Amino acid sequence: MRNIGTGQNSNQLVREISWSKNLIILARCKDDLEREFYLRATARFGWTKAVLQHQVDNKSYEKYLLNQTNFDQTLTPAIRAQAVLAVKDHYTFDFLGLADEHSERQLEQALVANLRRFLSEMGGAFAFIGNQYRLEVGGQEYFVDLLLFYRRLRCLVAIDLKIGAFEPEHKGKMEFYLEALDCQERMPEENAPIGIIIWRDKNTTVVEYALRTASRLIGVATYTVVPELPEAYRTEPPSPAAIAERLQAWAETEAVNA
């Protein structure tokens, strides 16, 4: 495996985790970039063997490294690596038992009813605060679909659920929610809130353009209710160079925090 510039080569990474974890990564990861991700994440975040197996089964490499957020432009290196693991590019909600055709309300209610598995799919470092979380601004009521707390960054996470395709104007709605949460709900010791807009479908170019002008921390993801990744993951994966660039940025962030 190549060294990507942190002063910490693969041999050092291998020595930082147990042999049983190394065997899982070696046996189940198909290329050097994927192995490097799981080596770094296991060492950095102290994943147990069971958590590592879940992360590999859940295709966390694809879901985290390919995510669409504006974190690179809006976060300092000190907390960027943690924020990357707060938002996946895709969530699989196959445990909900929902029909392929369902409403946003049905999706929300099913996630709340299956809270433990929902939080596990989100990444395992989240706590549930509430659904239809009420905000009052200028005498008017607004409701956030789901409100979580991300323990690694100590920040609120607002989730907006949509069953259709991504629309740029919903970025503004999420920014409004995050502004209200920042002003009214954030504790002094907490970091700025993060927004995750979870859609049935998204056009990556539209998302990229929308996030360029976002003033708040926002990620956009897709979801399915069946246990498979969208077709785009199988037919149009990002280039190895693009993935390597993401790993390079993550590694540099780790070096800052070391």
pLDDT digit string (tens) for 203-218? 788 888 888 888 888 9
Question: What CA–CA distance (Å, rounded) separates 140 from 123?
Answer: 33
Q: Which residues of the chain have pLDDT under 70?
A: 1-11, 65-66, 74, 76-78, 81, 227-258
pTM value is 0.74
Query: Where along the chain do its domains lie?
Result: 67-237
The DSSP string of 15-66 is HHS-HHHHHHHHHH--SHHHHHHHHHHHHHHT--HHHHHHHHHTTHHHHHHT
- Residue range 49-80, pLDDT digits in tens: 988 888 888 777 877 766 778 777 767 666 77
Q: What are phi and psi of 134, to 5 degrees?
A: -80, 130
For residues 129 and 228, give the distance between their C-alpha atoms in angstroms, rounded to a whole number: 29
The domain 67-237 is placed in CATH, from the list 3.30.70.890, 2.60.110.10, 1.10.287.3510, 3.40.1350.10, at 3.40.1350.10
